[in-house]
Amino acid sequence: MSDIKAIFTGDRCLSCTACMANCPVMAAVKEYRGPKLVGPAHGRMHFSQEDVEESLNYCSNCKSCDRACPSGVAVSTLNMLQRAEYYKKHEHLRHEDMLAHGERMAKLIRKIPFGATFSNIGMSLGKTLGVFSALGLAGERNMPAYAATAFKDYFPRIKQTAVNKKIVMFTGCYINDNEPQVGEAFIKVMNANGCEVLIDKQFKCCGSPLVVTGFLDEARQHADNNVARILDWKRQGIPVVTPCTSCSLMLKEEYHELFGEDQFHEAAENVYDAFEFLEMLQERGEFNDNLKPLNQKFLYHVPCHLKSQAIGLPAQNILEEIGGVEVKTADAGCCGISGNYGFRKDKYEISMKIGAKLFERVKKKDFDKVISDCGTCRMQIHHGTEIKPVHPIEILAQAY
């Protein structure tokens, strides 16, 4: 028996309640019965009758519970598996379908000439006209604007010198469709460190948005596809590196927790978060420390999904190599958006309530810039404070 698959980890629960004490959603909304009950405790009860725990809907999959658990229970994944069960018998709402399939939507839009431009206009119009709100989306938010050209399409135009040391970049949907400048920075940094960056067009969305909205079968297809690709690269000795923390968590941990196949574990060994990879180069003495001083102070919001990887704070470590750079962690908990959670109309307020502490911290403005590795965290901070954060790799790129 694979003890690591989530459904088996429930047996480890000591009922200690550490997960409930650390759940940001519980702190924000009293209707949520909390990770312990909804996850491992109910896991023992599912046999007893056909029933639905309505408050499961509140779980944002931020994984604070998993990190708090002293016994290694994959609480949030138990919740996601249960959510998938719910959708076996219930129809998805339209906005859930939209939020789960950002990749599909972006592809559609790009098939239309000037599609991105039009859709961005459409989205700001949509916000003004209340269309999103009517769809069940958070009307208060700007929808992430599409980049004119997807990063993967723009990629061949980026000039790189062919070298032996190669890595494959897993772009992630958000960087590919919305923030290609992060991708460019990633390539600049990796090139400076003697790595040629490859792109694998066969990679699909990691599946994180699918999992949280209960499209588990579809997520499984993505997992099978991506894992086959990762293993293929592994056989060639080429690591897969991603600047998106939710993607890397999915590829490294969640696939295995959800589906429990051994090859998912094997694939995970070949996946690195961008700064984790750089830190590894540093440990080997291969990191290029020929960095221009920047003389800036940064406030670092550490994404939940980075914390869950238990790899420390490699971005802080690396950025502090730059002359005059000071990185302070915000230490203000979850930002509240948790992927597409905060984009739902019924979760908007909760999401903002969870983020309030972070917003307050950011608004102190005792720094030059806010940095965060996660795309949706950056959006949330921007929305909550009107201060636009950047990916730490963009800072590092400036130093080369």
Partner 1 sequence: MEKATVVVIGGGATGLGILRDLSMRGVKALLVEKNDLVNGASSRYHGLLHSGGRYAVKDQEAAKECIIENQIMRKIGKSCVEPCGGMFTRLDIDDEAYEEAWVKGCADSGIEATPITLDEAFKLEPRLSRKHVKSAYLVPDAAVDGFRMSWQLIDSSKRYGGQVKTYTEVIGFDTVNGELRGVKVRNQFTGEEYEIGCDIAVNAAGGWAAFVGKLAGVEIGVQPDKGTLIAFNQRIVNHVVNRLHKSSDGDIFVPHGSITILGTSSMSVPSPEDTSTSREEVESLIKIGEQTFEDLRDFRILRTFAGSRPLYIPPGGAIGRSASRGFAIVDHEQDGLKGLFTIVGGKFTTFRLMAEKMCNQICTKLNNTTPCRTAEEPLVEEVPQADKDRAKKFFPSYGVNLAATRLGVERFKKVVERLESEPESRELVCECENVTRAEVEEICKEDTSFIVNDVRRRTRIGMGTCQGNFCALRAAAVFADTGVESTAKDSLTRMKEFLQGRWKGIRPVLLGRTLRETEMTRAIYELSMAINNAQGGMNNAKNNS
229-232-237-240 Cα dihedral, nearest 10 degrees: 0
Nearer to partner 1, 46 or 94 (CB): 46
- Considering CB under 8 A, how many residues would be counted as binding partner 1? 29
Stretch that binds partner 1, among 45-53, 84-92, 198-206, 290-298 (CB under 8 A): 45-53
Nearest CA-CA partner of 340 in 348, 332, 329, 349: 348
Nearer to partner 1, 16 or 125 (CB): 16
The answer to the question of residue 279 lying near partner 1 (CB under 8 A) is: no
Exposed, middle or buried: residue 387 (CB in 10 Å: 0-12, 13-18, 19+)? middle
Closest distance between partner 1 and the C-beta of residue 341, in Å? Answer: 21
Between CA 261 and CA 231 the distance in angstroms is 13
The answer to the question of residue 48 lying near partner 1 (CB under 8 A) is: yes
Stretch that binds partner 1, among 15-23, 89-97, 176-184, 275-283 (CB under 8 A): 15-23
Binding residue (CB under 8 A) for partner 1 from 54, 262, 269, 346:
54
215-334-267-155 Cα dihedral, nearest 10 degrees: 90
The answer to the question of residue 262 lying near partner 1 (CB under 8 A) is: no
Q: Please name the amino acid found at residue 102.
A: G
Angle between helices 216-235 and 75-89 (to 10 degrees): 130
The answer to the question of residue 37 lying near partner 1 (CB under 8 A) is: yes
The answer to the question of residue 46 lying near partner 1 (CB under 8 A) is: yes
The answer to the question of residue 49 lying near partner 1 (CB under 8 A) is: yes
Binding residue (CB under 8 A) for partner 1 from 35, 40, 207, 342:
40
Nearest CA-CA partner of 256 in 61, 56, 2, 1: 2
Token couple for 321: 């190599």
Q: Please name the amino acid found at residue 111.
A: K
Closest distance between partner 1 and the C-beta of residue 8, in Å? Answer: 7
Contact set for partner 1, span 58-97 (CB under 8 A): 71
Binding residue (CB under 8 A) for partner 1 from 6, 23, 33, 257:
33
Dihedral sign (CA 48, 50, 56, 61)? positive
Residue position matching structure tokens 């138990």: 78
The answer to the question of residue 30 lying near partner 1 (CB under 8 A) is: no
- Spacing of C-alpha 67 from chain mean position: 16
The answer to the question of residue 10 lying near partner 1 (CB under 8 A) is: yes
The answer to the question of residue 13 lying near partner 1 (CB under 8 A) is: yes
The answer to the question of residue 53 lying near partner 1 (CB under 8 A) is: yes
Closest distance between partner 1 and the C-beta of residue 53, in Å? Answer: 4
Q: Is 341 helix (H, G, I), strand (E, B) or coil?
A: helix
The answer to the question of residue 36 lying near partner 1 (CB under 8 A) is: yes
Closest distance between partner 1 and the C-beta of residue 12, in Å? Answer: 6
Q: What are phi and psi of 213, to 5 degrees?
A: -105, 10
Between CA 352 and CA 267 the distance in angstroms is 36
Give the footprint of partner 1 on this chain (CB under 8 A): 1, 3, 8, 10-17, 33, 36-37, 40-49, 51-54, 71
